[in-house]
């Protein structure tokens, strides 16, 4: 039976899960797959602050990456340290040494993919990243190995569990953003510094990977429009409820010919949409292929065992492809291909809520400002406040130009009858 030795870089949530799966399920994997996996080294920063030392034999732990690099028996290096450095340097050095790399690190991967793939191809090493998107959901392999017949025209997903938990709390329990975030932190879903999740960076890294793979064109993070969930208010959720929508932080990629748009932002979707039923910390990714039509994958997007499941799946895949590794199917250049036209003027439905003076002419002036920009209105709901002076008006547009809507809102904001543009949320049907 073929034997493969693995080195783990990092022994936190993901690394310890990988060790546990290999220890507990190694015999079954050997029986089913015909390969014997073992862990040869575990790299930790220092022994003093390592909380999981008791989970593996002491002899496996090292603080020296060079020890791993110079050990010829190590075939596969699993990077689950997170962050940029030293993960980036270790990945490059392992690939240059001809060792296959499996990573769960979406940030380092999305920021350095072309350099990593170049280094991998130069030595014939493998580079695998199933665990970077959607935790235990097998989305990368689905795109790579099961969607070859398709031109993927859309990828749309809930790919951040922390924000989905917060939005679920705001929807179902009427919590404020601040209270829902505190709950998420108390439950260990959100970090003490939640910026990467709540401002949409984590989803942006993952969308860069997903859309690059789906559209066979590199979509660096710089071309992705990003907006987080921190400005959402209780009134936004009341509006969504009124219109029978749910608010989700969606990562959206669309391709039409050579035109591609990639964006992460709070989005209203019909309450009946399959993604609307994805609650709490769960993730789901919705793909549309020209042949297969719609496919949705659902599961746990983070956590020790789900993420380790994806890592071990990559390890097994890498072992089976050791003679001829499979790389991603796009030209791996640092910037976006010049053949692609990046769409910044999105066309979608907009839900806009205004606080206005409740007096004659208000509606006419606002409607005129939309009309000037070619923005057609689909529905208008006016809810008067009890003071008889102000009212809240919610507009739902037909599919409209983002630039047109923004121009119209600039004009509307300047009208004396408008107290405030309270929110503008994009809608996907």
Q: Which residues are catalytic?
A: 206
- Residue with the two structure tokens 């392992």: 94
Residue 160 touching ligand HSE (CB under 6 A): yes
Please give the radius of gyration of the chain, using alpha carbons only, rounded to the nearest integer. 24
- Closest contact distance (angstroms) between CB of 267 and ligand HSE is 17
Q: Which two tokens stand for residue 133?
A: 């998107």
Note whether 313 binds ligand HSE by CB under 6 A: no
Rule CB under 6 A: say whether 162 interacts with ligand HSE. Answer: yes
Residue nearest to ligand HSE as judged by C-beta position: 162
CB atoms within 10 A of CB 90: 23
- In terms of CB distance, is 190 or 240 closer to ligand HSE? 190
* Residues in 168-227 that interact with ligand HSE by CB under 6 A: 197, 202
The least CB distance from residue 332 to ligand HSE, in Å, is: 23
Site mask, ligand HSE, residues 249-288, x = CB under 6 A?
Answer: ----------------------------------------
Residue 259 to residue 282: CA distance in whole angstroms:
30
Query: Which residue(s) pair with 284 in the sheet?
Result: 158, 298
Q: Which of 156, 250, 302, 348 binds ligand HSE (CB under 6 A)?
A: 302
Cα dist from 296 to 12, 108, 141, 148, 285, whole Å? 30, 26, 14, 16, 6
For residue 322, give both structure tokens: 């050791």
Complex with ligand HSE: residue 94 or 302, whichever CB lies closer: 302
Q: How far is the CB of 283 from ligand HSE (least distance, A)?
A: 7
- Tell me the number of residues near ligand HSE by CB under 6 A: 7
Q: Is 92 helix (H, G, I), strand (E, B) or coil?
A: helix
- CA geometry: angle 377, 382, 384, nearest 5 deg: 160
**In the complex, minimum distance from the CB of residue 386 to ligand HSE, in angstroms, rounded to a whole number:** 40
Q: Which of residues 354-413 bind ligand HSE (CB under 6 A)?
A: none
* Piece in contact with ligand HSE (CB under 6 A), picked from 111-119, 154-162, 355-363, 376-384: 154-162
| Residues 130-149 contacting ligand HSE, CB under 6 A | none
Q: Where are the alpha helices (DSSP H) in 50-105?
A: 65-69, 87-96
Of 251 and 400, nearer to ligand HSE (C-beta) is 251
Q: Which of 12, 69, 73, 83 is nearest to 39 (CA)?
A: 73
Q: Which is nearer to ligand HSE, 66 or 178 (CB)?
A: 178
Residue for token pair 């089913």: 32
What is d(CA 412, CA 423) in angstroms, rounded to the nearest whole number?
13
**Contacting residues for 37 by C-beta, under 8 A, at least 6 apart:** 4, 6, 22, 26, 29, 30, 315, 316, 319
Query: Which of the ranges 137-145, 155-163, 229-237, 272-280 carries the binding residues for ligand HSE, by CB under 6 A?
Result: 155-163
301 binds ligand HSE per the rule CB under 6 A: yes
What is the spatial distance between Cα 141 and Cα 257, in angstroms, rounded to a whole number?
24
Based on CB atoms, which residue is closest to ligand HSE, 205 or 245? 205
In the bound state with ligand HSE, the residue whose beta carbon lies nearer, of 106 and 353, is: 106
Give the binding site for ligand HSE (CB under 6 A).
160-162, 197, 202, 301-302
């Amino acid at each position: 039976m073929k034997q493969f030795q693995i080195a783990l870089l990092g022994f936190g949530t993901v690394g310890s899960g990988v060790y546990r799966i290999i220890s507990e399920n190694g015999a079954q994997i050997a029986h089913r797959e015909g390969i014997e996996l073992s862990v040869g080294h575990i790299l930790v920063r220092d022994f003093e602050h390592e909380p999981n030392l008791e989970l593996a034999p002491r002899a496996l732990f090292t603080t020296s990456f060079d020890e791993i690099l110079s050990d010829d028996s190590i075939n596969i290096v699993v990077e689950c340290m997170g962050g940029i450095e030293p993960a980036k340097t270790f990945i490059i050095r392992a690939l240059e040494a001809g060792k296959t790399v499996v990573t769960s690190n979406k940030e380092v991967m999305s920021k350095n993919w072309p350099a990593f793939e170049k280094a991998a191809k130069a030595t014939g090493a493998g580079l695998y990243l199933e665990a970077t998107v959607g935790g235990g959901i097998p989305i990368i392999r689905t795109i790579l190995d099961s969607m070859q017949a398709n031109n993927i025209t859309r990828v749309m997903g809930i790919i951040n569990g922390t924000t989905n938990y917060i939005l679920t709390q705001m929807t179902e329990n009427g919590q404020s953003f601040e209270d829902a975030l505190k709950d998420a932190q108390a439950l260990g879903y959100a970090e003490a510094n939640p910026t990467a999740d709540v401002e949409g960076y984590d989803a942006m890294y993952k969308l860069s990977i997903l859309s690059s793979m789906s559209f066979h064109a590199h979509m660096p993070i710089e071309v992705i429009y990003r907006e987080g969930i921190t400005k959402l208010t209780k009134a936004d959720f009341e509006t969504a409820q009124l219109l029978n929508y749910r608010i989700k932080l969606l990562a959206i990629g669309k391709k039409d010919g050579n035109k591609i748009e990639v964006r992460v932002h709070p989005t209203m979707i019909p309450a009946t949409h399959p993604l609307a039923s994805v609650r709490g910390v769960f993730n789901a990714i919705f793909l549309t292929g020209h042949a297969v039509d719609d496919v949705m994958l659902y599961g746990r997007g983070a956590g020790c065992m789900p993420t380790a499941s994806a890592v071990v799946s990559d390890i097994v895949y890498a072992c089976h492809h050791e003679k001829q590794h499979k790389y991603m199917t796009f030209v791996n250049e640092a910037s976006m291909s010049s053949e692609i036209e990046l769409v910044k003027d999105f066309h979608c439905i907009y839900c806009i809520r205004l606080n206005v003076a409740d007096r004659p002419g208000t509606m006419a002036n606002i409607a005129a400002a939309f009309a000037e920009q070619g923005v057609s209105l689909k529905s208008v709901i006016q809810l008067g406040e009890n003071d008889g002076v102000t009212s809240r008006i919610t507009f739902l547009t037909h599919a409209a130009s983002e630039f047109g809507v923004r121009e119209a809102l600039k004009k509307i904001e300047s009208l004396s009858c408008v107290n405030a543009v309270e929110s503008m949320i994009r809608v996907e049907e």
